[in-house]
C-alpha cells in the first residue's frame, strides 16, 4: 500500500508527534522560499538584493496577516499600523546615540541613551506592536464581521495621525532618518523561517483551535466554554508581533521613512498575496507572496521596457496594478479560497514506516485449513 509522506491536509495528524508534523510543512515551504531567494541572489550577483529583501519582508508580513485572519476569520485593514509601530520603535532604538541629539533633540532621556543591535530592535519592535494590539484589541476583538474590519481600518488612521503629530518621538510628517542599514539576507529569511514555525505552532495549538471554533460558530463555541475575546485577542497580539518584526526589518532596510510609508496602499499588496495563496493556510501565504512578488517584478520590467529579440516591448505605466487586479478578480470568481485554501503541507515520516509494514493490497491471503475433527463434505 502506498502512503504519501508529504501531503496537503486540512488538519494535523493526531498523536504526540502530530504538532511536530504540523510544524514541518510550513517550515519546509519557508526553507524552499529562502532557497529560491538565495538562488536569485546568486544568479543576479546581488544586483537586485533590495528587491529580494523586500520580498522576504513582504512574506513575513503576509504570514503575520494570515495568522490572524486565518484563525479568526476577521479581515484586517489595519495591520500596517503595527508595521509602523515596529518600524518607528526599531528606528528610535537603532539610531546611534551621537546622532539622536541631531535627529531627535526632544527625545525623552531614557531613550536618548539607548542604542541596540538589530536583534534587540526586532524583539522590541514586535513587543511594542503586540502591546499596541493588546490595548486596542480589547475593544476591537469584541466586534465581528464587517464592523471589526472597519474598526481595524480606523486603528490604522489613528496610528497614522499619532505618528504625524508626535514630533518629539517620530519627527512628525518629516522623514525619520539616521537609521543604520542593518537588514541583511540572513536576518530577513532567518526571521521568515522562525515566523513560519511560530505561526504553525499557534495554528495547531489549543489557542488556534479555540480561535477557529469562535470563527466557525461563535454561539456554539461560547456554549462549550470558549470565550470570544481571549480566543481572538491571542492571535491578534501574535500577528501584531510578527508584523512589528517585519516593520523593524523594513525600517533598517530603508533607513529613512515617514508616516506616509505605512498607510492604506501598503495593506493592499499584503491582502492580495494572502487571498491568492489562501487565507486559511500558512503554506498558501508563502506561495501567494512568492507568486505575486514574481509577477509584480516581471510586470515592472515590462513597464520599463524589455527587449524581446529585435523588438522593444514597453507596456503603459500602471499596467502592473491593473494585471494584479484582474488576477485577484479571476481568483475570487473561480477559486475564492485561494490556491491552497485551508490546506497545509505536511511531512509525516510515520506514514513511511506504516507503509513499509503493510502487506501489498494484491497479496492473496491463504485460507485456513479446517480442524481435523470437523466433518468434510463427501461427494457421492
Which tens digit of pLDDT belongs to each residue from 16-64? 677 777 888 899 999 999 999 999 999 888 778 899 999 999 999 999 9
Give the residue ranges of DSSP H helices in 73-117. 79-94, 97-103, 109-112
pLDDT confidence tier of residue 351, bands split at 50, 70 and 90: low
Which tens digit of pLDDT belongs to each residue from 269-301? 899 999 999 999 999 999 999 999 998 888 887
pLDDT confidence tier of residue 378, bands split at 50, 70 and 90: very low
Q: Which pLDDT value is given to residue 105?
A: 86
Is the pLDDT reported for residue 226 higher than 60?
A: yes
Q: Which three cell numbers stand for residue 197?
A: 514555525
Q: Which three cell numbers stand for residue 365?
A: 491471503
Is the pLDDT reported for residue 308 higher than 70?
A: no
Q: Which pLDDT value is given to residue 350?
A: 62
Report percent pLDDT > 70 for the chain: 86
Q: Which pLDDT value is given to residue 301?
A: 78
Query: What is the mean pLDDT of the segment spanning 152-158?
Result: 94
3-state helix, strand, coil split of the chain in percent (to 5) is 65, 5, 30
The C-alpha atoms of residue 263 and residue 26 are separated, in whole angstroms, by 29
The C-alpha atoms of residue 200 and residue 103 are separated, in whole angstroms, by 40
**Domain residue limits, the chain:** 6-262+340-356
Nearest partner of 330 among 268, 275, 291, judged by Cα: 275
Which tens digit of pLDDT belongs to each residue from 74-97? 999 989 999 999 999 999 999 998
Grid cell 538565495 in the structure block, residue = 38
Amino acid at each position: 500500500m502506498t502512503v504519501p509522506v508529504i501531503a496537503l491536509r486540512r488538519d494535523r495528524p493526531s498523536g504526540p508527534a502530530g504538532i511536530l508534523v504540523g510544524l514541518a510543512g510550513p517550515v519546509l515551504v519557508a526553507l524552499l522560499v529562502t532557497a529560491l531567494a538565495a538562488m536569485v541572489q546568486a544568479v543576479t550577483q546581488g544586483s537586485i538584493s533590495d528587491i529580494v529583501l523586500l520580498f522576504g519582508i513582504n512574506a513575513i508580513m503576509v504570514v503575520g496577516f494570515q495568522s490572524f485572519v486565518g484563525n479568526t476569520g476577521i479581515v484586517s485593514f489595519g495591520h500596517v499600523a503595527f508595521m509602523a509601530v515596529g518600524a518607528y520603535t526599531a528606528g528610535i532604538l537603532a539610531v546611534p546615540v551621537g546622532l539622536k541629539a541631531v535627529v531627535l533633540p526632544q527625545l525623552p532621556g531614557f531613550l536618548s541613551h539607548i542604542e541596540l543591535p538589530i536583534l534587540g530592535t526586532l524583539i522590541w519592535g514586535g513587543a511594542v506592536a503586540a502591546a499596541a494590539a493588546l490595548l486596542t484589541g480589547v475593544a476591537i476583538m469584541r466586534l465581528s464581521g464587517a464592523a471589526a474590519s472597519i474598526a481595524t481600518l480606523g486603528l490604522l488612521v489613528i496610528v497614522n495621525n499619532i505618528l504625524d503629530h508626535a514630533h518629539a518621538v517620530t519627527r512628525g510628517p518629516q522623514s525619520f532618518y539616521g537609521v543604520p542599514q542593518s537588514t541583511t539576507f540572513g536576518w530577513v529569511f532567518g526571521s521568515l523561517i522562525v515566523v513560519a514555525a511560530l505561526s504553525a505552532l499557534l495554528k495547531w495549538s489549543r489557542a488556534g483551535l479555540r480561535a477557529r471554533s469562535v470563527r466557525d460558530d461563535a454561539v456554539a463555541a461560547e456554549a462549550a466554554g470558549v470565550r470570544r475575546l481571549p480566543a481572538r485577542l491571542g492571535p491578534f497580539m501574535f500577528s501584531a508581533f510578527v508584523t512589528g518584526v517585519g516593520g523593524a526589518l523594513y525600517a533598517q532596510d530603508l533607513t529613512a521613512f515617514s508616516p506616509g510609508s505605512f498607510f492604506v496602499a501598503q495593506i493592499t499588496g499584503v491582502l492580495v498575496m494572502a487571498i491568492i495563496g489562501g487565507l486559511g493556510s500558512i503554506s498558501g501565504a508563502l506561495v501567494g507572496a512568492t507568486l505575486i512578488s514574481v509577477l509584480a517584478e516581471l510586470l515592472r520590467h515590462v513597464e520599463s521596457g524589455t527587449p524581446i529579440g529585435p523588438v522593444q516591448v514597453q507596456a503603459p505605466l500602471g499596467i502592473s496594478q491593473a494585471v494584479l487586479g484582474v488576477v485577484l478578480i479571476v481568483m475570487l470568481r473561480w477559486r475564492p479560497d485561494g490556491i491552497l485554501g485551508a490546506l497545509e503541507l505536511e511531512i509525516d515520516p510515520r506514514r513511511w514506516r506504516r507503509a513499509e509494514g503493510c502487506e501489498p493490497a494484491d497479496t492473496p491471503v491463504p485460507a485456513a485449513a479446517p480442524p481435523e475433527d470437523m466433518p468434510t463434505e463427501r461427494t457421492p
